[in-house]
Every structure is written in structure tokens, then in C-alpha cells.
Chain A
Amino acid sequence: MYPREYRYTKEHEWIKAEGGTGTIGITDYAQQELGDVVFVELPKVGAQINAGQSFGTVESVKAVSEIFSPVTGEILETNSALVNAPEKINQDPHGSAWLVRMRLADSKELVGLMDAPAYEAYIAEKAKEHSA
């Protein structure tokens, strides 16, 4: 379910790093929690973003969720297809519905993020809290 080569945050973003760039999106867990996504707001290309900084929002019918950057870097590209088809985030959150690509300032930041098994354990714990 959760791609092994991705890294994950506690705020439910994923990042796929290749060389000096990273592709960032929200996780399947996040899209399920949000429900039907209807609006996405993304940063401008060229924006400098710090790790942990909010760089955009994803809105569903019922809620607004800020997107926090897993890493520090510069926005290289945003997924413009989401502007007119935000529902793609519900359909393919780990693939075609990526949000932004960034140039990584320091790839060592990735070490502090969760790998897939750790993230799966983290959301299993969340699910338990929910049903409690």
C-alpha cells in the first residue's frame, strides 16, 4: 500500500527523493481522512520552503488541511493538473496526484522521516485511537 521507497511525515505527507530532487504528496491515509477533495492551493515555483513549513492547502467538502513540507528546498514544479481535477488526490494520492517537486537543500533531512513500515505502524496506532 505505502511505497517502500517513499519517506513519510507525522502530518501525512510523503516524499520520493531522486538525486537532488523530491516529489511530495499526501498519503492515502490523509485523503481518506479528508474525504472528497475539492480544492488545492499550491505554492509558486521558485518559493523557498523550510522543513515543517506550510506550503499549501488541500480542502475537502468538510475540512481544510495544511500541507507541511517534509524537507527544506526550492519549489521546482507544481502539479497543475490538480487545479481542475482536485479529486485525483482521492484516486491516486501516491502517484499522479503528487503536489510539488522540490530541489532538496540537504538530503540528510530525509533520515529524520519515517520509512513505510514505521508510517504504517504510526497510522495503525492512529486508527486505534479513533475507535477507542
Chain B
Amino acid sequence: MVNFGGWDMPLEYSGIISEHEAVRTRAGLFDVSHMGEIEIRGAGALELVQWVTCNDAAKLTIGQAQYSGLMTERGTFVDDLLVHKISEAHYLLCVNAGNQDYDFDHIVSHDRFGAKSENAGPRYSQLAIQGPRAKEILQRLTPVPLDPIRYYHFTFGKVDGVDCLIARTGYTGEDGFEIYFDPEFSEKLWDALMHAGQPAGMLPCGLGARNTLRLEAGMCLYGHEIDETTTPWEAGLGWICKLSKGAFLGSELLARQKQTGPERKLAGFEMLDRRIGRDGYPILIAGREAGRVTSGCPAPFLKKNIGMAYVPAATSSLGTEIEISIRSQLAPARIVALPFYKRPQ
């Protein structure tokens, strides 16, 4: 068990490689109850969400979710999050465990719209079932037809008799679902899903595989690729930064940075030998220190060693040869396209 944002969580069950492989080829079950939930209600709910986040929540239909960023006044990330539109005046935000209280205070402090915000983490448990066989496994336990739920959409219904919000979202690069429910039923639903998934070869998965899966899929992790010093443009998240929606926190600075272009950019790299460029290791370009690895690890499915790092925009083009300083030796690597892995459609 490791301590993660105040939660004791398993890093691995059967082993990171086997868990990772299970999610890519069959299915995996993650207890992600540590994730935080914040609910925004009332007539000003949409205005508040629009003001504090960078994606355009006005585009959401009821039953749709979007990936977004909670912004500082400087257009940097307080957190990244999923915004679910439950009704015209009700939004459910799913945020990172360690940031939940800070996010909540931040949102409330910027509420001049009269919305009602609730720090609702303790009212929810969350399980993520991910992988090509996730739908078939979850379907055994719910009368809700899962096929019609499109990617980044959700609905409400019973799973094994328990009321759930069932969202077709995830953090692995695979098809799958994240279900939110009353913590009272955590063990019951975990056991029911494990039982239903066993014949399909589903494995319980820990934080270790969650990290290798999201990195292979080129997804950012708060505190690594994004934080209060990075903007969506720098992080390659321009697609969630909608300046056209009107003013929001940090939008002026973000508009300016869009014009000038960011000075640094998040890049993916792969190692050219067997060494592993890990979090925090220095990156050298043309012999000069040019940044640090934000996340780096073996990619169990691709069978390469990969990572992400911020590099000067001028030297971020694909194919650029870089070096990573590993215990004072230089290991060759190359900038490659993100994501490293894309699931077959």
C-alpha cells in the first residue's frame, strides 16, 4: 500500500506488467474512490463552470462529459477534471484526490454567479472498469444498455442493484466505464465486478498500472505534466482551451500566449537503448540542459521505454535526438508523436 493524497492504495496486485496487459487485451478493475467530486448546482451553475474552467461547458448536452482544466488567473492549471452535465442547473466535476479541497475553495472563491457548490467526495465511491471486454463484463450486472452510451457520455442506472452514475470515460486509453455510487456499496460492487470479470480474464489493477497505461496513452497527470506553472498550450491541451467561449479565468493571458506561441512544449520521447528516463531526470538537447522528464517509465504493452518532458518549442519537432541524464550518464532518446499508443478502432 502507498499513501496517495491521503488514501492508502495498492500500487499493484498481481504485478504492473500483467495488470497493464490485462487492460490492453481484456479488462482491468480499478478502485478510484480517491478521486474527488464537486457538485455545482443552481441558476448560476453553468456560468460558474464556464468562468473557472477552460473548455466550453455550454457545448455539453445533458448526459455528456468533457475533459477540462480548472484555471488560475494566470491561465495555468489548478487541476484537470471531468465536467459532467447532469441537468441544466447541475454539474458534477471529477477532480484529483490531492486537489479536492483546494479546488473546492478555488471554485467557491470565484463564484460571483450565486451557484451552490458542494465538496461531495465523501458521498461517492468510484470504480473504473477498463479494456476491450469492459462493456461485456459490466453489461452482465446492469439492465442499462451500455452500447448506446457514447464515449464521454453517461447515464444513471443500477449496477448489481446499486444506483450508479455510469460514464463511458477512463484514464487508460481503452474503452471502458467509470461508475460513481454511494460508498456504502463499495465492497459489494467491487466483488460483483471481480466475479463477473473473472471468466473474461479481468484483473484488479493498482496505481502502478494506472500510471503506465495513462502514460502510454499520452495523458497528463497533475503534478507531473500539468500544474500551476503550465498552460494548456504548453501541455498540448489546446483542444480543451476554448477562447471563443468568452472570458474565463486566465483567458487574457492564454489569448496572448496563443498569439506568441508557448516557449516550451510538452513532448513525448522514447529511449533508444534499454535505459529508462524517469521522472525528474534532466533532458539535454545539443548538449545543453533543456528541461526535465515529467513522467517516464517502461511501456509494458509497446515494450519500449517512454516518457514526456517539456522542451523548448524551437527544438520540440518530431525526430529530434535528445539525451537524458541518468545517474550522470547520458542515454540517447528521440522525440516522438503523442500519444504513444492508440487503441485499434
Contacts and interface: CB of A to CB of B under 8 A. Distances in A.
Contacts, number: 35
B327 interface: yes
Interface in B297-345: 297-298, 300, 327
A29 interface: no
Contact of B16 (A36, A57, A59): A36
Contact of B298 (A41, A57, A61): A61
A35 B208 contact: yes
B275 A35 contact: no
Report, as a range, how many residues of chain B touch the other chain: 10 to 19
Pick the most buried of A36, A39, A59, A61: most chain B CB atoms within 10 A of its CB: A61
Interface in A41-84: 41, 57, 59-62, 64
Nearest to B1: A130
A36 B274 CA distance: 15
Contact of B327 (A38, A57, A130): A57
Given A35-B208, A38-B298, A59 B276 contact: yes
Interface of B: 1, 11-12, 15-18, 208, 212, 274-276, 278, 297-298, 300, 327
29 contacts: A35-B11, A35-B12, A35-B15, A35-B16, A35-B208, A36-B17, A36-B18, A38-B298, A39-B274, A39-B275, A39-B298, A41-B275, A57-B327, A59-B276, A60-B16, A61-B16, A61-B17, A61-B208, A61-B212, A61-B297, A61-B298, A61-B300, A62-B11, A62-B12, A62-B16, A62-B208, A62-B297, A64-B276, A130-B1
